[in-house]
Structure 1
Amino acid sequence: MTTLPRPGGFRGDLEVVFRSAYPRVVGVAARVLGSRDEAEDVAQEVFLSFARSSVPAGEAMGWLSVAAAHTALNHLRSGRRRAAREESAGVEDVVAGDVADAVVTLDERRRVRAALARLPRRQAIALVLRHSGLSYAEVAAALDLSSGSVGTTVRRAESALREELIRHASSD
């Protein structure tokens, strides 16, 4: 059943869907972006789009998960505020721990995010959703795949990610 928008433009089931899906949406976005603050910004965008949509409530979790991954990848690809965020995070991390470890960790995260952004969108999303804790069945439903092909898609995405990391290792 599709819930039609109320006169103000938002869905009647928004609060229920929001309460149940918010942690997953933020989790998926945080997995891509590496920042809870940025992930919460993405979640806000995603729920605003959902609020104006006619997506059936029963399909909301899959739709929201994919939308979170898409939106987070868009933010990642645009590079908006990323450099400033990593620098500020680096300063805080260095105070708490070893300087060399903090620098290596930040560099590795930056390289993985950059490689993820270069993957084909479907592979990147499958990888993000699976590593965000979604089951094979949930990833399959979200990406309109058969459950049997999720493992293959994720393995190919992991392989492609490794290749991207190797290919750009010398240039980074």
Structure 2
Amino acid sequence: MIKIFRILRRKQLKEEQFQIDYEKYYTVVYKQLYYLLGSNELAEDITQEVFIKYYNTKEDIEFVGAWLSKVATNLALNHIRGEKRRLKREENMLEDVNNIFSIEDQIFRNEQIKSVRNILSSLSNEQSTCLILKFSGYSYEEIHNATGIPKNNISQIIARGKKKFLKLYEGEGDLNVL
């Protein structure tokens, strides 16, 4: 009987901790995913998926923010890879069709998003990850926990990544994003 109470109490504590973590990290995870994916709906969907994985995990997580960030990044990258494959299939099917229904502003915005994603993919993995996490609101400590990069190196990686990003971005157009 005591064992059942302990199990129920542990489950209750886990649910209370989940609620606290959900309220604390939801916006941070959402922002990170929005920066990676550029879509409100997609960022919301994947944010929910991240928290479902967190809720269902059996392991004890020491650094919740870092764990959530890593899961969010992995899910976003999986989605981006799948999107690339889907887009390639669509491009092959629609090679001869011009998109005459596009709105000029939407085209411009899509080009900007594509440009930013291309530039981020041309940066080193460390630089792009650190830039995304930093501009998603993560502290150096949380970036260190998520990536395993020594804290002393993070600011230098971000500075170099930002400089390289701006140089590449300005080379494609005269807009400053960061």
Change (3 A) 1:114 1:41: farther
Shift of 1:127: 1.5
> Percent identity among equivalent residues?
26
The match for 2:46 is: 42
In structure 2, C-alpha distance between the alignment counterparts of 1:14 and 1:82, rounded to whole Å = 36
In structure 2, C-alpha distance between the alignment counterparts of 1:164 and 1:20, rounded to whole Å = 35
The match for 1:87 is: none
1:137 paired to 2:149: no
1:28 paired to 2:62: no
The match for 2:131 is: 127
Shift of 1:82: 7.2
1:74 paired to 2:74: no
Return 5+ residue gaps in structure 2 as ranges. Answer: 1-6, 91-100, 173-178
What is the aligned residue count?
150
The match for 1:65 is: 69
What's the CA shift string for 1:47-68, capped at 9, x where partnerless? Answer: 1222232243x51112112221
Change (3 A) 1:36 1:160: same
Shift of 1:163: 7.5
Q: Which protein is bigger by CA-based radius of gyration? A: 2
Shift of 1:117: 3.9
Taking only aligned residues, the RMSD between alpha carbons, in angstroms, comes to 3.6
What's the CA shift string for 1:101-154, capped at 9, x where partnerless? Answer: 442222011121234345444332212101112222322232223322111222
In structure 1, C-alpha distance between the alignment counterparts of 2:75 and 2:124, rounded to whole Å = 15
The match for 2:154 is: 150
SS at match of 1:79: helix
The normalised TM-score by structure 2 is 0.65
The normalised TM-score by structure 1 is 0.67
What's the CA shift string for 1:29-61, capped at 9, x where partnerless? Answer: 0011111110111112211222232243x5111
